[in-house]
């Protein structure tokens, strides 16, 4: 094996000085100086935007066909028939016996739990009322109390919560009937709600 320290090859390597390297940035700039950027007319870059891709295309198609109205359990907040603050409300699904409805009106069916919607927004009231009715149904309650108020605390205000409650309760499948409460339970600012029996 040759002794590389004494060889001419070794001394040649020692004496050789490396040539200075070119700056990579300068080399790249030189290589692309004649390149023309492609037009980007159809692309708009948006910074700081999170993009989520959903596999469910049917969902997106459905969302594109409905308006921006918020809906919970099929209960819309878009529009409602306004009722009077002091108007007594009464509703009975088909097949309810008149005798049972009269007992409900007189407060003779004890309510087992209640909800107070005072101070809630329309969306919050809708969601909480829907959840309350479902929960009461699954807990096998026969009657519950819904306090919606009369909007007397705000001058010139319409009784929106009362009006929406009147509309929403008619649509919920768990509700058999409802009636404005007796004075001791809130009068026309509250409702006795009769629920279906859970099987």
- The tens digit of pLDDT for each residue in 10-66 reads 454 455 555 555 565 566 677 767 766 655 544 443 333 333 333 334 433 444 443
Percentage of residues of the chain with pLDDT beyond 70: 60
Q: What pLDDT, on the 0 to 100 scale, is given for residue 164?
A: 94
Chain CA centroid to CA 25, Å = 51
Residue spans of the domains in the chain: they are 71-195
Q: What pLDDT, on the 0 to 100 scale, is given for residue 20?
A: 56
Q: What pLDDT, on the 0 to 100 scale, is given for residue 152?
A: 59
In terms of CATH architecture, what is 71-195? Answer: 2-Layer Sandwich (3.30)
Q: What is the pLDDT along the chain (199 residues), one digit of tens a residue?
A: 545 455 554 454 455 555 555 565 566 677 767 766 655 544 443 333 333 333 334 433 444 443 433 444 566 666 678 899 899 999 999 999 999 999 999 999 999 999 999 889 999 999 999 999 999 999 999 999 999 998 755 556 788 999 999 999 999 999 999 999 999 999 999 999 999 987 7
């Amino acid at each position: 094996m040759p002794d590389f320290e004494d060889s001419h090859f070794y001394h040649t390597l020692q004496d050789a000085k490396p040539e200075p390297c070119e700056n990579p940035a300068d080399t790249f700039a030189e290589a692309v100086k004649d390149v023309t950027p492609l037009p980007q007319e159809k692309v708009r870059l948006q910074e700081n935007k999170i993009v989520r891709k959903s596999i469910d295309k049917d969902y997106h198609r459905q969302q594109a066909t409905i308006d921006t109205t918020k809906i919970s359990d099929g209960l819309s907040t878009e529009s409602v028939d306004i009722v009077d603050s002091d108007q007594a409300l009464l509703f009975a699904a088909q097949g309810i016996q008149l005798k049972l409805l009269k007992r409900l009106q007189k407060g003779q069916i004890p309510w087992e739990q209640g909800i107070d919607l005072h101070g809630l927004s329309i969306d919050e009231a809708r969601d909480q009322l829907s959840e309350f009715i479902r929960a009461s149904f699954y807990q096998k309650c026969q009657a519950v109390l819904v306090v919606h108020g009369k909007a007397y605390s705000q001058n010139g205000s319409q009784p929106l919560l009362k009006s929406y409650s009147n509309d929403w309760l008619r649509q919920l499948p768990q509700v058999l009937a409802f009636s404005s409460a007796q004075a001791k339970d809130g009068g026309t600012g509250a409702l006795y709600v009769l629920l279906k029996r859970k099987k």
